[in-house]
């Protein structure tokens, strides 16, 4: 039996700190998905091409993922509170650029800069939280709130975005960031404690920074391009090869350094590596499903952005409830059973739409049940995985753990949109019947269901109605396989959990 080690004195500001960090995280996580419902309005206004459309959606998460490792290490040296405030300054400037955008490339640039700001903010939230909450049970609750806010923010993004876009246009999805950031900065400057890592006194590893950024961006870009252009295109394979080389060199370099940017030895801990897997694989599926279903509600079912967002509500509501219950389950049952059960529940929710031969035959009530089950499973799984990952990492390595965790969230979601979204786009083109349209119009219709919807609106009459009906049917058939793939990923994560997590692991207890 382990002797109970006395914990550090409890910080009286810890719950105020949790509220400020939750607000920070809510803003970042909502920005990951808020554009999903604003996207049709933006496409109609700026008319971006198919490649530009993918970049508008993906570049935020890709930029954020590529910089998380560097940002985590920078916070250790420069100060986590200081980095958080700097991140909000960048985030606000990027939001202003997006508000005044008049070209597609303006939005892409703004979204990339938003990702830079988000990368500065996100590791700081977990690092500060870990340093403020010294009691294991309280820390588990705080991490449950963190997971609920992150997952809920990603799912509430379409609802908030729909409400804003319907009444004020797509620019308002970015304008929302400014007052929220101002409130968080004002509260953060007063209440957040400053902290640094005691092991951050060595030289800054510029070579490691370059290797991590090149490797992560090449990895994300390669998978994105592979999903879009197929296995015969040499470009994605070149990018993936570059990623493999850069990340291999990066890992070998970090293992040699006394003060590495990223403590990659954390992956030698089975519980840590499994927890990271249990975040990444489900996020691939959830990121794709939230994107595809939001588009399906609008293009396939004809709902407004707000109506589409509201119909997604069962998922975030269930996720928040499940996240709050997860710490209690972790205290009563073995971690591997709670995490594995959550992942299986998530897979069950994802399997329900796929079991229907025709996706649209489900009807909304049955689909709402599927969203609820998905939310319950995701809430339990991500919360338990987050608590396990952060709690099993030594306190001095919390920034590395935070960077790894948030990379799993962001890169997983981006990969889902890139790979499963591109797969759905290819299937959409394959399912479209022969159309009695001129060559240019037919090519535009085949680019995306969004383009087809805008062309159908322009044509009007029986021709427009027939076009949107054919495009809707093709898109419905195209996205159904994404649910099967997402469910299989969750099952794979569950199997890994039951196999590798130690039976006696108790991250909610002080040892």
CATH of the domain at 92: 1.20.1250.20
* Distance from C-alpha of 88 to C-alpha of 153, rounded to nearest angstrom: 17
> Would residue 286 count as lying in a domain?
yes
> Would residue 312 count as lying in a domain?
yes
* Distance from C-alpha of 211 to C-alpha of 170, rounded to nearest angstrom: 36
The average confidence (pLDDT) of the chain is 81
pLDDT number for residue 132: 87
Higher-pLDDT residue of 32, 101: 101
Q: Which domain holds residue 358?
A: 14-195+259-500
Q: What is the mean pLDDT of residues 115-143?
A: 85
The percent of residues in the chain predicted with pLDDT above 90, rounded, is 11
Q: Which two tokens stand for residue 12?
A: 């009286």
Q: What is the pLDDT of residues 289-328, one digit of tens each?
A: 877 887 788 777 778 777 877 888 888 889 888 988 988 8
Number of H helices, E strands in the chain: 20, 0
Q: What is the mean pLDDT of residues 254-276?
A: 86
> Would residue 1 count as lying in a domain?
no
> Would residue 317 count as lying in a domain?
yes
pLDDT number for residue 30: 82
The backbone region for 133, taken as left when phi is positive above 0, alpha when psi lies in -120 to 50, beta otherwise, is beta
* Distance from C-alpha of 84 to C-alpha of 193, rounded to nearest angstrom: 11
* Distance from C-alpha of 447 to C-alpha of 425, rounded to nearest angstrom: 8
pLDDT band at 510 (very low <50, low <70, confident <90, very high): low
Q: What is the mean pLDDT of residues 380-402?
A: 84
> Would residue 238 count as lying in a domain?
no
Q: Which residue has the tokens 């992560």?
A: 216
Q: What is the pLDDT of residues 462-508, one digit of tens each?
A: 777 888 788 888 888 888 888 888 888 889 889 888 888 877 676 66
Residue 469: other Cβ atoms inside 10 A: 11
Q: Which residue has the tokens 């799993």?
A: 408
> Would residue 347 count as lying in a domain?
yes
> Would residue 240 count as lying in a domain?
no
pLDDT band at 242 (very low <50, low <70, confident <90, very high): very high
pLDDT number for residue 299: 76
pLDDT number for residue 356: 60
- Whether residue 2 is predicted with pLDDT greater than 50 in this model: the reply is no
Q: What is the mean pLDDT of residues 156-180?
A: 80
pLDDT number for residue 346: 92
pLDDT band at 1 (very low <50, low <70, confident <90, very high): very low
pLDDT number for residue 62: 76
Report the number of distinct structural domains present in the chain.
Answer: 1
* SS3 assignment, position 198: coil
- Can you spell out the DSSP letters for 138-160? HHHHHHHHHHHHHHHHHHHHHHH
Q: What is the pLDDT of residues 250-261, one digit of tens each?
A: 999 988 888 888
pLDDT band at 3 (very low <50, low <70, confident <90, very high): very low
- Whether residue 359 is predicted with pLDDT greater than 60 in this model: the reply is no
**Do 159 and 26 touch, CB atoms closer than 8 A?**
no
- Whether residue 414 is predicted with pLDDT greater than 80 in this model: the reply is no
Q: What is the mean pLDDT of residues 49-75?
A: 80
Q: What is the mean pLDDT of residues 155-182?
A: 81
Q: What is the mean pLDDT of residues 355-360?
A: 57
Distances (CA, A) of 235 to 39, 231, 417: 27, 9, 19
> Would residue 454 count as lying in a domain?
yes
Distances (CA, A) of 263 to 121, 260, 392, 399: 20, 6, 13, 9
């Amino acid at each position: 039996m382990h002797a109970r080690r006395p914990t550090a004195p409890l910080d009286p500001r810890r719950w105020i700190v949790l509220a400020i960090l939750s607000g920070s995280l809510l803003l970042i996580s909502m920005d990951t998905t808020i554009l999903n419902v604003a996207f049709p309005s933006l496409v109609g206004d700026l008319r971006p091409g198919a490649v530009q459309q993918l970049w508008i959606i993906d570049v935020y998460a890709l930029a954020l993922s590529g910089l998380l490792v560097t940002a985590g290490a920078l916070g250790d040296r420069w100060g986590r509170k200081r980095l958080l405030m700097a991140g909000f300054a960048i985030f606000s400037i990027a939001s202003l650029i997006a508000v005044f955008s008049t070209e597609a490339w303006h939005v892409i640039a703004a979204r990339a800069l938003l990702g830079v700001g988000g990368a500065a903010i996100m590791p700081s939230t977990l690092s500060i939280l870990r340093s403020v909450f010294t009691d294991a049970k309280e820390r588990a609750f705080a991490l449950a709130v963190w997971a609920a806010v992150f997952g809920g923010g990603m799912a509430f993004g379409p609802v908030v975005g729909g409400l804003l876009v319907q009444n004020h246009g797509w620019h308002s999805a970015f304008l929302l960031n400014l007052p929220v950031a101002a409130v968080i900065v004002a509260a953060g400057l007063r209440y957040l404690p400053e902290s640094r890592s005691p092991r951050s006194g060595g030289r800054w590893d510029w070579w490691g920074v370059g290797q991590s950024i090149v490797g992560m961006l090449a990895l994300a870009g390669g998978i994105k391009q592979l999903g879009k252009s197929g296995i015969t295109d040499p470009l994605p394979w070149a990018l993936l090869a570059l990623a493999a080389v850069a990340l291999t060199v990066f890992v070998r370099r970090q293992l040699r350094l006394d003060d590495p940017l990223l403590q990659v030895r954390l992956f030698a801990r089975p519980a840590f590596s499994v927890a990271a897997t249990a975040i990444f694989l489900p996020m691939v599926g959830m990121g794709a499903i939230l994107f595809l279903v939001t588009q399906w509600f609008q293009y396939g079912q004809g709902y407004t952005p707000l109506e589409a967002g509201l119909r997604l509500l069962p998922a975030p509501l269930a996720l928040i409830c499940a996240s709050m219950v997860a710490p209690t389950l972790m205290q009563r049952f073995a971690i591997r059973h709670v995490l594995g059960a959550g992942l299986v529940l998530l897979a069950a929710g994802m399997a329900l739409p796929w079991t229907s031969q025709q996706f649209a035959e489900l009807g909304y009530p049955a689909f709402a049940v599927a969203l609820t089950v998905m939310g319950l499973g995701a809430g339990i799984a991500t919360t338990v995985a987050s608590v396990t990952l952060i709690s099993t990492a030594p306190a001095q390595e919390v920034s590395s753990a935070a960077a790894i965790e948030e990379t799993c969230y962001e890169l997983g979601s981006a990969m889902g949109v890139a790979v499963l979204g591109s797969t759905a786009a290819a299937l959409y083109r394959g399912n479209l019947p022969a159309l009695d349209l001129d060559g240019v119009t037919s090519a535009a219709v085949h680019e995306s269901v969004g383009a087809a919807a805008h062309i159908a609106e322009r044509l009007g009459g029986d021709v427009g109605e027939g076009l949107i009906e054919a495009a809707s049917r093709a898109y419905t058939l195209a996205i159904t396989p994404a649910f099967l793939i997402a469910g299989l990923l969750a099952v794979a994560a569950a199997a890994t959990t039951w196999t590798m997590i130690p039976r006696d692991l108790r991250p909610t207890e002080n040892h």
